[in-house]
Amino acid sequence: MRVLVIEDEADVAATVCDFLEARGHAADWAGDGLTGLHRAVTGAYDAIVLDLMLPGIDGLELCRRLRAEARRATPLLMLTARDTLADKLAGFEAGADDYLVKPFEPEELEARLQALLRRGRHGGRRLAVADLELDLDTREVRRGGRVLRVTPTGFAILEILARNSHRVVGREELEHALWGEEPPESDALRSHIHQLRAVVDRPFAVPLIRTVHGVGYRLSAPDAL
């Protein structure tokens, strides 16, 4: 299990990461909301541990952006010192899958994360457009039954486009979902799209990644245009 821990308290983050790694998992740490959102969107994580109170953007706003704008369904466990019903409901409304109040035992956190993963696998979370399939649990991409090798950022782009295959996704919308308020200075999005086309489209007879000039991109079968 690969986990992203978004927590501004370094001692809490270290305790969680050290415990998870000692149990055989991989753990990455982000100490603020914007860095956490960027890593959550561009990285291939099985689960996210998210603190509510963060510098930059708070946990609720991060969660909303992750679900509504980036369209990422990564299982998310929210951590907070707030234990009122209203706080818990706000977390669930923003898109959290579970809620753990500080202080907590690392063993309980691990158990809750594993329960979230089992729930996700049982649901068989997949996206499909034409003969292209994305497995949201394994982060595997297939087209025509063939496994395709894409980067974490490439997978994030495909997931956003697949969830919105009924429409054109604007360049600015994609860039914001991928990099938040600080996109790279170079035209990174165009480079990632170029790399994706080399893997997803060129080996096949029918291209799926479409450019709508002056607007953005769309992932769709030809008959959907």
CATH of the domain spanning 2-123: 3.40.50.2300
Common-topology check for domains 2-123 and 126-224 = no
Domain layout of the chain by residue ranges: 2-123, 126-224
Average pLDDT value for residue range 43-69:
90
pLDDT category at 45 given cuts 50, 70, 90 is confident
State yes or no: cis peptide before 103, omega within 30 of 0.
yes
Residues shown for the chain = 225
This prediction's pTM: 0.56
Class of domain 126-224 (CATH, top level)? mainly alpha
List the single range of 16-25, 56-65, 183-192 with lowest mean pLDDT. 183-192
Tell me the pLDDT of the chain averaged across its residues: 87
174 pLDDT above the threshold of 80: yes
Q: Is-contact 66 36, C-beta < 8 A?
A: no
**Predicted local distance difference test score (pLDDT) of residue 68:** 80
Whether the pLDDT of residue 123 is over 60: the answer is no
Q: Say if residue 79's pLDDT is above 60.
A: yes
Measured at the alpha carbon of residue 107, what is the angle toward residues 49 and 58, in degrees to the nearest 5?
20
